[in-house]
Amino acid sequence: MNKLFARIGPGMMVAAVGVGVSHLVQSTRAGADFGLSLVWLVILIVVLKYPAFRFAVDYASATGRSLVVGYSKISKLALIWLGLAFIVDMFIAPAAVSLVTAGLLISIFDIPYHAPVVAVGLMIVTALILLNGHYMKAERIIKVMVIAFSVLTVVAMVISLPLLGSDDRSVFANLNFDRSLLLFIIAVTGWMPMPLSGAIFQSRWICERRRALGAENFSYGQALTDLRIGYGLTLVLAICFVVMGAAVLFETDRVAPQNPGAFATELLSIFTTVFGSWMYPVIAIAALAVMWSTLVALMDAVPRVVDRLLSYANKKPDETRDRYTMFLAVQVIGVTAIILFLMGGFVAFLDFATSMGFLAAPAIAYYNYRAVTGPDIAAEFRPDATMVAWSWISVVSLAVFAISYFVFKFI
């Protein structure tokens, strides 16, 4: 077992962080509201975002540095775009993740408090755990739960297949590409399988793993294989949730839940419908661990990256001051303000949060390409013609999605 966990690298970290709101919430909603009609969308967006994560592996393997360094060598504008992305990751993303996690807590333990209050309490507790260094003790348990939840999800999807089209229900919806559907499509794709700024985390995790194991024990080829496995897992699980949402909830006269607790109850009911009520404790704990691990990763990694980002923006890359505590406190205060004072409806806020994942996505896709084609990158780590073409298709497509969001949302 120890060897198994030792092999779980940055690619699996991407999977662990990615399987959160995008999968449990948006993929399930896609299946519940539209059947299998949006499976193509999930596959398309995961494929489109792949080059940015691939370039994170290329750059970190070539230089031993994270992409923040690469951005600093391109221009100050590149750092500004990265900063915009991390504003979303520092405040809006943790707000959405903490609300979904709070919903699970309320549903599982029947907590008699409103979701925003529970979410704020969860943020504070998580911050205290991180400051006291106790998260590493819980990391092993979380890895077990993430793996268990992934296995259970795949098994549940397979078992749920006979339910597709049962009771004379349809499998596909008649899509009417109006404003509301297009905004939902953008909301799904914003965090599918995770915000593109996750590529920055990916490069940082690779550097840390190479330092811990030695570059010879985590080669470029191993890093690529690790990414393909982890990134591929996010696609498989996203499809699983779409299929289960369609099999169990589509055309069942359900009333769409409008608060975190009700949504969590509906989510867990999918698994109990497939497996039976005896599986509820296992599913509930695993789902809670998956969401909490996503929250912890955001609250731990984002303040560290923002610290380094500001150091490079101020042209002080060698600055060694540890401002992690300060940025973590700013994050908790900012997220608390959003949850308690700025949030509207639960579903509307989740759609807004995931849509904002497109704020800087085209720029990140472009600058990741620029970083890995810079003059300090050896030829063996540079993208070939196919990957270059794939990358430009990604940049243009993500730009179209981003522009469409602002057009349909505000015009």
**What is the CATH number for 19?**
1.20.1740.10
Q: Can you read off the two tokens belonging to residue 269?
A: 């009911």
Assessment of whether the complete model's pTM goes beyond 0.85: yes
Q: Rounded to 10 degrees, what is the CA torsion of 67, 68, 73, 77?
A: 120
Closest CA to 46 of 150, 186, 192, 183: 192
pLDDT at 208: 77
Alpha-carbon span 108 to 315, nearest angstrom: 48
Spatial distance between the Cα atoms of 350 and 353, rounded to a whole number of angstroms: 5
- Can you give the residue range of the structural domain that contains 121? 2-410
Q: What is the pLDDT along the chain (411 residues), one digit of tens a residue?
A: 455 455 556 666 777 777 778 888 889 999 999 999 999 999 999 999 999 999 999 999 999 999 999 999 999 899 988 888 888 888 988 999 999 999 999 999 999 999 999 999 999 999 998 888 655 555 566 666 677 888 889 999 999 999 999 989 999 999 888 888 888 888 888 889 888 988 998 898 888 778 777 777 778 988 898 899 889 989 999 999 999 999 999 999 888 787 888 889 999 999 999 999 998 998 898 888 888 888 888 888 888 888 888 888 777 776 666 788 899 999 999 999 999 887 777 888 888 888 887 778 999 999 999 999 999 999 999 999 999 999 999 999 999 988 888 888 777
Contact residues for 233 (Cβ-Cβ < 8 A; gap 6+): 12, 15, 150
Mind listing the pLDDT tens digit for each residue in 51-105? Answer: 999 999 999 999 999 999 999 999 989 998 888 888 888 898 899 999 999 999 9
User: From the CB of residue 117, how many other CB atoms can be counted at a distance below 10 Å?
Assistant: 14
Q: How many CB atoms lie within 10 A of CB 188?
A: 25
Task: With beta carbons less than 8 A apart as the criterion, state whether 68 and 197 touch.
Answer: no
What is the Cα–Cα distance from 35 to 42, expressed in whole angstroms? Answer: 13
The two tokens of residue 330 are: 């700013």
Q: Which tens digit of pLDDT belongs to each residue from 192-239? A: 988 898 899 889 888 877 877 777 777 898 889 889 988 998 999 999
pLDDT at 4: 46
Question: How many domains are there within the chain?
Answer: 1
- Closest C-alpha among 115, 47, 91 to residue 398: 47
